[in-house]
Structures are given as structure tokens and as C-alpha cells.
């Protein structure tokens, strides 16, 4: 067996020139970091936008320095106009959903660690990989361009519902050129994601090391694989919808624009289109998309919980089946976003039952995570804290989902802050916690240095308490009927809620500021962090068998052979409390 591992096949060597090494790199590790940096840039832009929104909600007259330089029209004298609030809202949602939650977990960490964890030299199609990244980059550039046009970014929200998203400038500032750029950006992003997905699928299926059967895969790989399938199938549908919307805007067609519309006193000369058609297409993509955002987080959480609990993951197979079930069911529930669209009560009932059915695999995962922690001698390092935080947020957000999934309740809750609370808890923050987990966990492997634990823990506690402080009260606001997407609350029934809003805003400022601790830790550790060993967390998977950072071709021309499952911790009779996947050690080999 040993000679197998030593067999050397063509080593491929790193390119020398800067441009091929760091810019148009074909190396999955460099591309992974590129995706991560793109997401890091995006998340700070998105965060800034949300802080501006929170300022406007509680101090609508506040003058924000420099903002009038960015948009003289949207923020005259630095005071955010209601329309500009909606621009900020639209870009916040779009940036966060597409360019943060869809890129960092998959394009970032997936790219970097999928080949390493399965014992491959690289992704299956390195050129395609480079193309996916640069296409994503182009999509982001087009979106960012909307900040610099005269009337600012579009105000249509991240869901961009027609008819207002289809009728052009009459619908408000940003809805002429800005909205067109939005659609183009999203279409580009769709193509990029589909190209990336093909690569992930082919790599997982075909490039696994000898002996690495599907049921020995780390759960992270399962998550990336399933996410890729969801992305491939759902982004295609959004792409189709985007093309049709673009034609409605620029080609005079009426796919989504109904007849007899009068927008801002301007008659719209279209007829017969169906705004609901967009909603169907969009949410057929949109619901799988929320799982695209969170599945990789589930994977890394499972991985880290097991590693730091020093126990095998509880119910490995159940985890795999649960994730697969979530993936399949995720395509059957889009109607729960449309309960108030006038759908037949029978369809609503069907969508509701299917939606509730997703709670079952979700609960299985949750119980397995808790089962993994029960009776464990837990090592409370920062990655572990964030993955426990992930579980907590997933449960909190999932519970509100069960309320929303019932049409009679959702008719009341729809378009209130309750929905905002639900999806920020589960998609926004839980997925971000997945990204933090992955960052603290894999940083040593990626950059060869440890991140600072003290700063990490401070970052965790402020963020954890902070996000609960921000989003828990939003459930209450929703119960009180506070609508979402409003720029100012001047109605009588909303005024008494202003103190809650003020509390939320202050919590948001503190939590937002705490992210600078993370940024500082990231940069500081890059240069000054403690040198990382090959396997600082005493984990079992293949990426920890190579130096930190790994060499250009990952395994230095060798081909690892796998003998063990991914989570063999504390195996009785083993000499250490963990067994590397490629260790020929015989203990529990027939596990």
C-alpha cells in the first residue's frame, strides 16, 4: 500500500508570472481565495448599506457625511430620501444574497477545500473555474456600477417584482438604467454559478481518491456537491426569468406586464402579461437559493462540531439523506412565498404541507448536531463557538419558518418584520456564522498561521448576542404589524414601536462595529499569527495531511489512499483520539 502513496505522476508546477499566479490563476486554491475576497468586499459594502438603513429608520433627518457625494440626488445634503432608502435596501439584499451567501461558502471554501478533502490535485476543469470566478466578478462590477449612475441603484428589492421592475423610469429613481443593470448583473451571475456548479459536480463524482467512497466523504463535500446540483438547476430558471424581464424592459414584449397600467400617471403600453409568472419563476429559483446559501454552512458545522467534540458525527448517513431530502423538497415549496398572491387554497395547502415536510430533515439535522455534542469533551475554540452559534440560529430561524409556512398565519405575517426576522436569523446570520466557522477553522491551512483566539472569542460573543438583539425584536415588530420595506414609520400605530427600532439600530451599530475586530484579526493574523502546524485542530480529513499552506499541486504528486470514514474520533483502541482518513491503521477499519 505504501508504494501506492509514493507513486509519482506528472507533477504540475506553479506558474511564475504574477498575472498567471494570482490574477488569472487556474489553481483552485487561488480561485477560492479570490472568491473569498470578493465576498469579503461585498459583505462590508452590504453591511454599510444596512447601517445606513438603520440610521435612516430611526433618524430620518440625519445628515450623513459624504453621502451626498455618492448620490447628490438620492441623499441631498447627506439626508437619505425615502427612494434612496429603497435603493440601499435593494443593493443590500442583492449583494448579500448573491455575492456573499452564494459565493463565499461555495465558490470560496468549496473551491479551496473540495479538491483537498477528496485527494485531488485540482478541480476537474481549472479553466472553467477561472471563468466562473471572473464572470462572477463581472456580475458584481455591473451591480456596483448602479451606484454611480445619475439616479442611483434600482429600488425594486432583491426580488425585483414586476410590473414595477419592468416598466422603466416611470417606476421611480433607479428603475431605468439601474434596474437594467440589475437584471444584467443577475443574469451574468446565473451563468457564473452554473459554470461553477458543473465543476463541483464533476469533481466530486470523478476525482475522489482511491478508497474514498461517497459514504466516506466529509459532510462538507456532500454539502458542496448538493449545493452545486441545486445551483445548476435553479440558476437556469432565474436566468430564463431574467432574459424575459430584460426583454419586457427593452424589447417591448409583455411577458410580465399586464394591460391598462398607469404608473406615475404614465400609461404603460403593454398588455396581457402576468406579474405572477415572474413570482413563480423567481421563487422556483428563490427557495432552492436559500438552501444554496445554507447547505455549505450545514456541512462545515457538522464537520467542526464533530472535530471539536472529539466524537464521530451522530448519524452520518442520516445527515447525508437529510441534506439530500432538503435539496429535493426545496424545489417543491416555492409557493410558500406566494400565499398572498391569490393562489387557490388547495395549492396553498399543498405548498404548506410540503413546506412543513422540510422541517423533518431539518429537525433530523438539528438533533444529530445536538447528539454529537451530548456527553462530549468539547474544545471550545472559536470555530466551535461559531458552529454552535450556527445551530442556535438555525433552530431559532427554523421555528419562525413553521409559523410562516401556514397560510392563515402567513397572510398576517407576510411582508412584515416577522419575515425579516425569519430569514435574517436563518439565512442571513446562520449562513454568515457558517462562513465565520469556516474562516476560523481553515485559516491556518490556507495561510499557515493561526488566527488570534482571544479576538476570535470577543468577536463571537459580541456578534452572537448582537444578532439576537437585532433580530429577535423584529418578531415582535412583525406581530404588531410593522410592514417591511418602509423607509419611515410615521403612522400612528407604528410610532409606539420606535423605541424598539431604536434598540435594534443601536444593536446593529455595535454588532457592525464588532466585525472590524474580525477584519483586524484576519489581517493581523496573516502576518503576525502564530505559525500553524500541519494539523493544528487534530482533525481527520485529507487537507490536514499536507503542509499549511498546501503546495501548488496539493499532494506533491502523490495520490492519497483512503481507509477511514471522515469522523473517526475517539475510536476505542486507537493510539490517538483521531484517525486520519488516509491512515492505514487497522482499528475500526470495518467501521
User: Under 8 Å CB-to-CB from 512, ≥6 apart: which residues?
Assistant: 47, 50, 51
> CA distances (Å), 393 to each of 109, 116, 322, 425, 434, in order?
21, 29, 18, 6, 11
Instruction: State which residue, 28 or 287, has the beta carbon closest to Cu ion.
Output: 287
- 559's torsion region: left (phi>0), alpha (psi -120 to 50) or beta? beta
Residue 277 contacts other proteins per CB under 8 A: yes
How far apart, in whole angstroms, are the C-alpha atoms of residue 491 and residue 487?
Answer: 12
Q: Residue 139 CB, nearest distance to Cu ion (Å)?
A: 23
Instruction: State which residue, 207 or 359, has the beta carbon closest to ligand HEM.
Output: 359
Residue 319 contacts other proteins per CB under 8 A: no
Closest residue to ligand HEM in the complex (CB)? 401
Q: Residue 176 CB, nearest distance to ligand HEM (Å)?
A: 24
Instruction: State which residue, 134 or 403, has the beta carbon closest to ligand HEM.
Output: 403
Contacts to other proteins from residues 139-198, by CB under 8 A = 194, 197-198
Number of residues that bind other proteins (CB under 8 A): 66
Instruction: State which residue, 218 or 398, has the beta carbon closest to ligand HEM.
Output: 398
User: Is the CB of residue 253 less than 8 Å from the CB of residue 247?
Assistant: yes
Q: Residue 159 CB, nearest distance to ligand HEM (Å)?
A: 6
Q: Which of 142, 224, 158, 236 has the alpha carbon at shortest distance from 195?
A: 236
User: Is the CB of residue 228 less than 8 Å from the CB of residue 197?
Assistant: yes
Which of 1, 66, 69, 213 forms a contact with other proteins (CB under 8 A)?
213
In the list Cu ion, other proteins, ligand HEM, none, the entry touching 252 (Cβ below 5 to 8 angstroms by class) is other proteins
In the list ligand HEM, other proteins, Cu ion, none, the entry touching 15 (Cβ below 5 to 8 angstroms by class) is other proteins
- 311's torsion region: left (phi>0), alpha (psi -120 to 50) or beta? beta
Dihedral, CA of residue 466, residue 88, residue 81 and residue 416, to nearest 10: -60
How far apart, in whole angstroms, are the C-alpha atoms of residue 251 and residue 174?
Answer: 19
In the list ligand HEM, other proteins, Cu ion, none, the entry touching 449 (Cβ below 5 to 8 angstroms by class) is none
In the list ligand HEM, other proteins, Cu ion, none, the entry touching 410 (Cβ below 5 to 8 angstroms by class) is ligand HEM
Which cell goes with 126? 481549472
- Give the CA angle between residues 146, 147, 153 to the nearest 5°: 55
Q: Residue 248 CB, nearest distance to Cu ion (Å)?
A: 25
> CA distances (Å), 564 to each of 53, 217, 542, 560, 583, in order?
50, 10, 11, 12, 7
Three-class SS of residue 345?
helix
Q: Residue 519 CB, nearest distance to other proteins (Å)?
A: 32
How far apart, in whole angstroms, are the C-alpha atoms of residue 460 and residue 471?
Answer: 16
Q: Residue 330 CB, nearest distance to Cu ion (Å)?
A: 8
How far apart, in whole angstroms, are the C-alpha atoms of residue 255 and residue 508?
Answer: 40
Instruction: State which residue, 199 or 437, has the beta carbon closest to other proteins.
Output: 199
Instruction: State which residue, 249 or 337, has the beta carbon closest to ligand HEM.
Output: 337
In the list ligand HEM, other proteins, Cu ion, none, the entry touching 304 (Cβ below 5 to 8 angstroms by class) is none
User: Under 8 Å CB-to-CB from 399, ≥6 apart: which residues?
Assistant: none
Instruction: State which residue, 402 or 574, has the beta carbon closest to ligand HEM.
Output: 402
Closest residue to Cu ion in the complex (CB)? 287
- Give the CA angle between residues 163, 143, 234 to the nearest 5°: 65
Which cell goes with 331? 424545489
Kindly list the residues in this chain that would bind ligand HEM in the complex (CB under 6 A): 159, 290, 293-294, 336-337, 355, 358-359, 362, 398, 401-402, 404-405, 410, 413-414, 419, 422-423, 426-427
How far apart, in whole angstroms, are the C-alpha atoms of residue 263 and residue 169?
Answer: 10
Which cell goes with 365? 439535522
- 66's torsion region: left (phi>0), alpha (psi -120 to 50) or beta? left
Write the binding mask 2 to 21 for other proteins: x where contact by CB under 8 A, - elsewhere.
-----x-xxxxxxxxx--x-
Kindly list the residues in this chain that would bind Cu ion in the complex (CB under 5 A): 287
Which cell goes with 326? 432538503
Q: Which of 515, 474, 426 has the alpha carbon at shortest distance from 57?
A: 474
In the list other proteins, Cu ion, ligand HEM, none, the entry touching 362 (Cβ below 5 to 8 angstroms by class) is ligand HEM
Q: Residue 561 CB, nearest distance to ligand HEM (Å)?
A: 37
Instruction: State which residue, 222 or 334, has the beta carbon closest to Cu ion.
Output: 334
Contacts to other proteins from residues 24-43, by CB under 8 A = 24, 26
How far apart, in whole angstroms, are the C-alpha atoms of residue 289 and residue 510?
Answer: 29
Residue whose grid cell is 466562473: 132
In the list ligand HEM, other proteins, Cu ion, none, the entry touching 402 (Cβ below 5 to 8 angstroms by class) is ligand HEM
Choices 87-95, 151-159, 270-278, 419-427; region in contact with other proteins by CB under 8 A: 270-278
Instruction: State which residue, 252 or 547, has the beta carbon closest to other proteins.
Output: 252
Choices 88-96, 133-141, 239-247, 538-546; region in contact with other proteins by CB under 8 A: 239-247
Q: Give the helix/strand (H/E) hosting 409.
A: helix 407-413
How far apart, in whole angstroms, are the C-alpha atoms of residue 424 and residue 103?
Answer: 17
Instruction: State which residue, 98 or 278, has the beta carbon closest to other proteins.
Output: 278
In the list other proteins, ligand HEM, Cu ion, none, the entry touching 427 (Cβ below 5 to 8 angstroms by class) is ligand HEM
In the list Cu ion, other proteins, ligand HEM, none, the entry touching 404 (Cβ below 5 to 8 angstroms by class) is ligand HEM
Q: Which of 414, 420, 281 has the alpha carbon at shortest distance from 342?
A: 414
Binding residues for other proteins, rule: CB under 8 A, are 7, 9-17, 20, 24, 26, 119-122, 124-128, 194, 197-199, 201-202, 205-213, 232-237, 239-241, 243-244, 247, 251-255, 259, 271-274, 276-277, 280-281, 284, 553, 559
Amino acid at each position: 500500500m505504501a508504494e501506492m502513496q509514493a507513486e509519482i505522476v506528472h507533477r504540475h508546477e506553479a506558474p511564475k508570472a504574477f498575472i498567471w499566479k494570482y490574477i488569472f490563476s487556474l489553481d483552485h486554491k487561488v480561485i477560492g481565495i479570490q472568491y473569498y475576497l470578493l465576498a469579503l468586499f461585498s459583505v462590508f459594502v452590504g453591511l454599510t448599506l444596512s447601517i445606513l438603513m438603520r440610521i435612516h429608520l430611526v433618524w430620518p433627518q440625519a445628515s450623513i457625511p459624504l453621502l451626498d457625494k455618492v448620490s447628490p440626488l438620492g441623499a441631498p445634503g447627506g439626508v437619505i430620501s425615502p427612494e434612496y432608502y429603497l435603493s440601499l435596501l435593494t443593493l443590500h439584499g442583492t449583494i448579500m444574497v448573491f455575492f456573499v451567501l452564494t459565493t463565499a461558502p461555495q465558490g470560496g471554501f468549496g473551491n479551496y477545500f473540495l479538491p483537498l478533502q477528496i485527494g485531488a490535485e485540482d478541480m476537474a476543469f481549472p479553466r472553467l473555474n477561472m471563468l466562473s470566478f471572473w464572470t462572477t466578478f463581472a456580475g458584481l462590477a455591473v451591480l456596483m456600477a448602479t451606484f454611480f449612475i445619475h439616479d442611483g441603484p434600482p429600488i425594486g428589492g432583491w426580488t425585483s417584482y414586476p410590473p414595477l421592475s419592468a416598466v422603466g423610469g416611470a417606476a421611480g429613481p433607479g428603475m431605468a438604467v439601474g434596474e437594467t443593470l440589475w437584471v444584467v448583473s443577475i443574469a451574468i451571475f446565473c451563468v457564473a454559478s452554473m459554470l461553477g456548479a458543473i465543476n463541483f459536480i464533476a469533481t466530486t463524482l470523478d476525482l475522489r481518491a482511491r478508497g474514498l467512497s461517497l459514504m466516506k466523504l466529509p459532510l462538507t463535500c456532500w454539502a458542496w456537491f448538493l449545493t452545486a446540483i441545486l445551483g445548476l438547476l435553479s440558476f437556469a430558471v432565474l436566468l430564463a426569468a431574467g432574459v424575459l424581464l430584460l426583454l419586457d424592459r427593452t424589447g417591448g414584449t409583455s411577458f410580465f406586464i399586464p394591460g391598462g397600467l398607469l404608473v406615475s400617471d404614465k400609461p404603460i403600453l403593454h398588455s396581457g402579461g402576468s406579474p405572477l409568472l415572474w413570482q413563480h419563476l423567481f421563487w422556483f429559483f428563490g427557495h432552492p437559493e436559500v438552501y444554496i446559501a445554507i447547505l455549505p454552512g450545514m456541512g462545515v458545522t457538522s464537520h467542526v462540531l464533530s472535530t471539536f467534540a472529539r466524537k464521530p458525527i451522530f448519524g452520518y448517513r442520516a445527515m447525508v439523506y437529510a441534506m439530500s431530502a432538503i435539496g429535493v423538497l426545496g424545489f417543491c415549496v416555492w409557493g410558500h412565498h406566494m400565499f398572498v398572491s391569490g393562489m387557490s387554497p388547495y395549492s396553498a395547502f399543498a405548498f404548506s404541507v410540503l413546506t412543513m415536510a422540510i422541517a423533518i430533515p431539518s429537525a433530523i439535522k438539528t438533533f444529530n448536531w445536538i447528539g454529537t455534542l451530548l456527553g462530549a469533551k468539547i474544545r471550545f475554540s472559536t470555530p466551535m463557538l461559531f458552529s454552535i452559534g450556527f445551530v442556535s440560529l438555525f433552530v431559532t430561524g427554523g421555528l419562525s419558518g413553521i409559523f410562516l409556512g401556514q397560510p392563515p398565519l402567513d397572510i398576517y405575517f407576510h411582508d412584515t418584520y416577522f419575515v425579516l426576522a425569519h430569514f435574517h436569523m436563518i439565512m442571513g446570520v446562520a449562513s454568515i456564522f457558517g462562513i465565520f466557522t469556516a474562516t476560523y477553522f481553515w485559516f491556518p491551512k490556507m495561510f499557515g498561521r493561526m488566527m488570534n483566539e482571544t479576538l476570535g472569542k470577543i468577536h463571537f460573543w459580541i456578534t452572537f448576542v448582537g444578532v439576537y438583539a437585532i433580530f429577535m425584536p423584529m418578531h415582535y415588530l412583525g406581530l404588531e404589524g410593522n410592514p417591511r420595506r418602509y423607509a419611515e414609520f410615521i403612522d400612528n400605530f407604528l410610532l409606539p414601536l420606535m423605541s424598539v427600532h431604536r434598540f435594534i439600530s443601536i444593536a446593529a451599530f455595535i454588532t457592525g462595529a464588532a466585525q472590524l475586530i474580525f477584519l483586524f484579526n484576519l489581517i493581523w493574523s496573516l502576518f503576525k499569527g502564530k505559525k500553524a502546524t500541519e494539523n493544528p485542530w487534530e482533525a481527520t480529513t485529507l487537507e490536514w495531511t499536507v503542509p499549511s499552506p498546501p503546495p501548488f499541486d496539493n499532494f506533491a504528486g502523490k495520490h492519497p489512499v483512503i481507509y477511514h470514514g471522515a469522523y473517526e474520533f475517539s475510536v476505542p483502541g486507537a493510539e490517538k483520539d483521531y484517525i486520519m482518513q488516509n491512515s492505514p491503521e487497522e482499528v475500526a477499519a470495518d467501521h
